[in-house]
Amino acid sequence: MVVTVNRSPPDGGGCARTVLVLASLFLASISQLQAAEPWDFIRVGRDTATAPKWNVRSGKAEVAFRGNHIDIRVPSSEDQGPIAITGTVDPDGAIEATYTSLNTDAAPLHLRGRYMTRDELQIWGTKRKIVTQREIVFTHPPNRDFLGFLGRDVRDE
């Protein structure tokens, strides 16, 4: 009786090992980035097409923080195309950013804003929760339009 055993070449597992190492490095790099979170969005601006009045637009925006960098994306709506706001947040909450109206030839605008947070203790039935209200406010350009973004985190006390 003859028994044959098929063995893979000595370095045959090296490819699988390389793939596993690359996959783990990729996953480690993703964990350092925060995924974009849905925030409430409001824009208040003047509408002078017929008579001077305030025009309000609200909806959702995706806000992502990566270190001190902020990236905000507002999808298009019936009356306006998509918006991108990118910039940096200082330790004191001051924001220097660029406002870009996507899919248009409009020149990007410089924005200054503020990032603020506040914690509230809330009792939900028998559970005590800490609710963190997060707020980003821009004037766009000064005294013309108001851009506001509101987010919220909830955690157990």
Q: 100: domain CATH number?
A: 2.40.160
Instruction: Identify the three-state secondary structure at position 27.
Output: helix
- Reported confidence tier of residue 32, pLDDT bands at 50, 70, 90: very low
Range of the domain at 149: 37-156
Q: Decide: 111 and 85 in contact? Cβ < 8 Å.
A: yes
Distance CA 101, CA 76 (A): 10
Examine residue 100 and state whether it is found in any structural domain, yes or no. yes
- The answer to whether residue 2 is domain-embedded is no
Residue 39 binned pLDDT confidence (cut-offs 50, 70, 90)? very high
pLDDT > 70: percent of the chain? 73
Q: Is residue 4 in some structural domain?
A: no
The DSSP 8-state label assigned to residue 117 in this structure reads E
Please give the DSSP secondary-structure letter assigned to residue 80: -
**pLDDT of 29 higher than 90:** no
